[in-house]
Amino acid sequence: MVSIDAGFLGLMLYPNAKPPKDPNTKKPTEKVVERIEKLLEDLDLTHERIIIPAPALSEFLVLVGKAGPEYLNDISNQPSFYVKSFDQMAAVELAAMELLARSKGPKRLPASPDAPWQKVKFDRQIVAISKLHGAHTIYSDDGDIKNIAEDIGIKVIPCWELDLPQSKTPLFDNVPSLDPTIAPKRRIILPDDD
C-alpha cells in the first residue's frame, strides 16, 4: 500500500501540471510525465493500492475548482485508488505520532518555516491516514510531509527521485536537442540517374 498527496494526485491526473522544482538543480523536474507514467506502471505491475488521504483530496479539489466533479468521477473509476478519511482511528494515530514526537525532544521545525499552521495540520493528517492504512511509502514533494513521515518510519519519494522509463531510443539519449528555429536545414541528396 502506498499513499499520495495532492501534488502527486495532480501530476497523475493532469499531465500538464506544473512540475515541482528539483532541489538539486533548482530547475523544474525533467520528464515528469514519463516519471509518473513509469510509477503508475510499476505500481500496477506489483498490484499496489494507492491511498488518497481525504485531506489531500480536499487540497486537490480546491486546485481544480469547477472540474472537481469530473476528477472525482475519474478517481472513483480507478480500482487501485482508495480515498481514506480522517476518522476516529486516524485521530488516535495522529495523537500517538504527536506524543512520540514530543517524547523525542523539541519539535522539528516545518521544512518551510513560513508554512501556515493549517497546512502543517493537513500534512500530519495525511501521514496519519497513510500510516493507519499500512502505507509503506508516501509519494510527495512536500518537505513537511517528508519530515513527519520519516520520523515514524514511512519512506517518502519526491517526483525528482522517481525512476525514468527505459528509453525507446537509447542512441539519441545523449544528443542535445536542437532548437528547430536555428537548426540547419538538411540537404537531400538524390542518387544520380546515370
Fold of 2-168: Rossmann fold (3.40.50)
Give the residue from 144, 133, 74, 87 showing the smallest Cα distance to 110: 144
Domain ranges of the chain: 2-168
DSSP state of 67: G
Q: Where are the beta strands (DSSP E) in 17-157?
A: 21-22, 27-28, 50-53, 81-84, 137-139, 155-157
pLDDT digits (tens, 9 = 90+) for 81-135: 999 999 999 999 988 888 887 787 666 555 555 655 566 688 999 999 999 999 9
**The pTM is what?**
0.80
Q: How far apart are CA 165 and CA 37, in angstroms?
A: 8
Instruction: Please count the other Cβ atoms lying within 10 Å of the Cβ belonging to residue 132.
Output: 20
pLDDT digits (tens, 9 = 90+) for 58-77: 999 998 889 999 999 999 99
Place of cell 541528396: 189
Output the CA angle 162-35-110, nearest 5 degrees: 45
